[in-house]
Amino acid sequence: MSELLGVAVLGAGHMGADHIRRIDAVVSGARVAAVADPDVERAKDAVGGIGGLDGVTVHAEAEAALDAPGVGAVLVASPGEAHEQALLAAFERGLPVLCEKPMVPDAAGALRVVEAEARLGRRLAQIGFMRRYDAEYRRLKSLLDGGRLGRPLMLHCVHRNVSSPPHFTSAMLVNSSVSHEIDAARWLLGQELSAVTVLRPRPSSGAPEGLLDPQLVLFETEGGAVVDVEVFVNCGFGYEVRCEAVCESGSARIGEAHGMLVTAAGGAREEVPQDYLVRFADAYDRQVQAWVDATRAGRVTGPGTWDGYAAAAAAEAGVRALETGARTPVVLAPRPALGDLA
């Protein structure tokens, strides 16, 4: 296919604006065809950032962007609560979608999306778990899959943000931030998560009033592995994402060295990225390029709606565990095959 893929971007906030720039300047084979945001000025600013409105329409309503001229695919970067409606609207129109995480924040809504896609009988959605496209995570995945270190016993994970946005809640540490570790653990280990417990240390004085930050989230898997995640979204000093896999005959650690190491005046200083747009820049680029390439070839690859649902179910159990202090099972619905619900 030689024609560029026309993409409608829903949501022109931090991620949406960055994806608009990426589609325009980094990714090949696609162009921004339409942008929707209820804050139309924000949408116009993002479009202004790629040189203006030539060939791009701006809308207040997501559905209007899906129906705009030249749209052949959709990138959803609105808040999680808006994703179910956006995904179902894209499915109704037969449009392939790349949807930012969390696919849908609640498990029941996420399952409705899985079922809607199963009724179509073909995949249409890729979910934005971009760590699967990060070079270090990919190396760790092939090492574990190769079996050289033996069976993985534990994953020790760290997820720190400099600060959280104003609307961030204690539940969002689990269902927004830790959703990345949930997906990474399922993918790295090739197993579903089976139970979750959340410990709540006394909150940092750097956290906003009432926010339970940090938290220690412990998952058990169906194959008997344990995954611990320190999540700390107001650490104040850097964006740090680490993962160590401890296996029967060795361990492997990623996420340690990202910035430049500057040695001067008798000391050495390593730069620490300040946010995800820097730390995972290459992963977002590869993720969107892979989506565009697959879409233009008539295929859908990468994490799918079942991964989005499984992450939502584990996160929902995690939020219950946070509230109750109890070990909480992760219960998944039976997985429908594509076409099963036709």
Ligand X SMILES: O[C@H]1[C@H](O)[C@@H](O)[C@H](O)[C@@H](O)[C@H]1O
Nearest-angstrom CA–CA distance, 139 and 135: 6
Nearest-angstrom CA–CA distance, 242 and 256: 7
- Return the one option of ligand NAD, ligand X, none that residue 177 interacts with (CB less than 5 to 8 A, by type): ligand X
Report which DSSP code applies to 112: H
**Is 170 a residue that touches ligand X (CB under 6 A)?**
no
- Taking the least distance from each CB to ligand NAD, the nearer of 36 and 140 is 36
- Taking the least distance from each CB to ligand X, the nearer of 161 and 221 is 161
Strand 193-199 versus strand 328-329 pairing type: antiparallel
- Taking the least distance from each CB to ligand NAD, the nearer of 197 and 234 is 234
Give the residue, chosen from 57, 126, 176, 215, that forms a contact with ligand X under the rule CB under 6 A: 176
Nearest-angstrom CA–CA distance, 73 and 297: 13
E-only strand ranges, 152-310: 152-160, 193-199, 215-221, 226-232, 240-247, 250-254, 261-264, 267-270
Give the residue, chosen from 7, 10, 127, 143, that forms a contact with ligand NAD under the rule CB under 6 A: 10
**Is 177 a residue that touches ligand NAD (CB under 6 A)?**
no
Is 95 in contact with 73 (CB distance < 8 Å)?
yes
Nearest-angstrom CA–CA distance, 52 and 47: 5
Give the residue, chosen from 3, 26, 39, 262, that forms a contact with ligand NAD under the rule CB under 6 A: 39
Three-class DSSP category at 330: coil
Residue nearest to ligand X as judged by C-beta position:
177
Is 238 in contact with 273 (CB distance < 8 Å)?
yes
Residue nearest to ligand NAD as judged by C-beta position:
13
Give the residue, chosen from 79, 150, 190, 250, that forms a contact with ligand NAD under the rule CB under 6 A: 79
Where does this chain touch ligand X (CB under 6 A) — which range of 38-46, 145-153, 175-183, 196-204? 175-183
Q: How far is the CB of 79 from ligand NAD (least distance, A)?
A: 5
